Amino acid sequence: MSGLAVQPISTGEAVVASLRARILDGVIAPGARLPEAELAADFGVARPTVREAIQTLCHEGLLVRERNRSAHIPVLTNEEILDLFSVRIPLECLIVRAVLERKAPLAPAREAMAVMEALPNDAGWSKVVSADAAFHQALVSAVGSPRLERLYGALSGEIRLCVAQLRPSWASPAAIGHEHHEVIDVLESGDVEAAEARMTAHLERAVRDLTH
């Protein structure tokens, strides 16, 4: 029975995980305010625990907090989405080129893609967001550049919020998983230009779905 031990998590970590899932599942709408007192009563925890959880999610980019106001989920305008992807698309093309030129391993990205394809239709969309993030992060990590990791990390919160908003555009988690499968297949061909083109098409579809 070795290897089956469950790693306990703190109350604060549990609140963070629950709030993150609510945000990415769409249970809490973009723009909605999150008063600390209400959340503390909802979770049955002290306000400092909620405050710390909110701070963690602000650091992740999933919440924003203004002085003397409750935290809220950012509402990304079409202009902000276009600006985000004007940076993200060239960056992801740089990533796939570096992965192929350095002959970096693709197994972690394929594993993340397989997780996405295996999700049931009724899976919480936060699981899709997590698998999508794991897929793209696996490609970033494969390059082996700490600076690239930091640069991509600066965009990751807004990227996850965008993926959360893509739910109406996909019939199922398996469908978005198949989209990533096609990206991996082109990467495994070793054709740099084809890989850049496929990644661009993948991300441009997201832009169209988010801004239509």
Q: Which domains does the chain have, with CATH numbers?
A: 11-72 (1.10.10.10), 78-211 (1.20.120.530)
Give the CA-trace dihedral at 146, 20, 33, 75, to 10 degrees.
Answer: 50
pLDDT band at 12 (very low <50, low <70, confident <90, very high): confident
Higher per-residue confidence, 9 vs 78: 78
Tell me the CB-side half-sphere exposure of residue 197, using CA atoms within 13 A: 6
- DSSP helix/strand/coil, 189: helix
Q: Token pair for residue 46?
A: 């002290």
C-alpha closest to that of 70 among 40, 92, 46, 101: 40
Answer whether residue 9 shows pLDDT above 60: yes
**H/E element, 33:** strand 33-34
Q: Token pair for residue 120?
A: 């049931």
C-alpha closest to that of 19 among 82, 70, 85: 70
Distances 69 to 6, 22, 153, 165, 166 between C-alpha atoms, Å:
38, 20, 26, 24, 28
Answer whether residue 53 shows pLDDT above 90: yes
Answer whether residue 2 shows pLDDT above 50: no
Answer whether residue 3 shows pLDDT above 70: no
Answer whether residue 134 shows pLDDT above 60: yes
**Confidence at residue 190, expressed as pLDDT on a 0 to 100 scale:** 94
The residues that bridge with 71 in the sheet, in sequence order, are 34
Contact 67, 193 (CB under 8 A): no
Report the 10 Å Cβ neighbour count for 168. Answer: 7
Q: What's the DSSP call for residue 75?
A: -
pLDDT band at 172 (very low <50, low <70, confident <90, very high): confident
**Confidence at residue 210, expressed as pLDDT on a 0 to 100 scale:** 92
**H/E element, 72:** strand 71-72
Q: Token pair for residue 27?
A: 């249970």
Higher per-residue confidence, 172 vs 185: 185
Q: What's the DSSP call for residue 168?
A: G
Answer whether residue 8 shows pLDDT above 70: no
Query: pTM for the complete prediction?
Result: 0.86
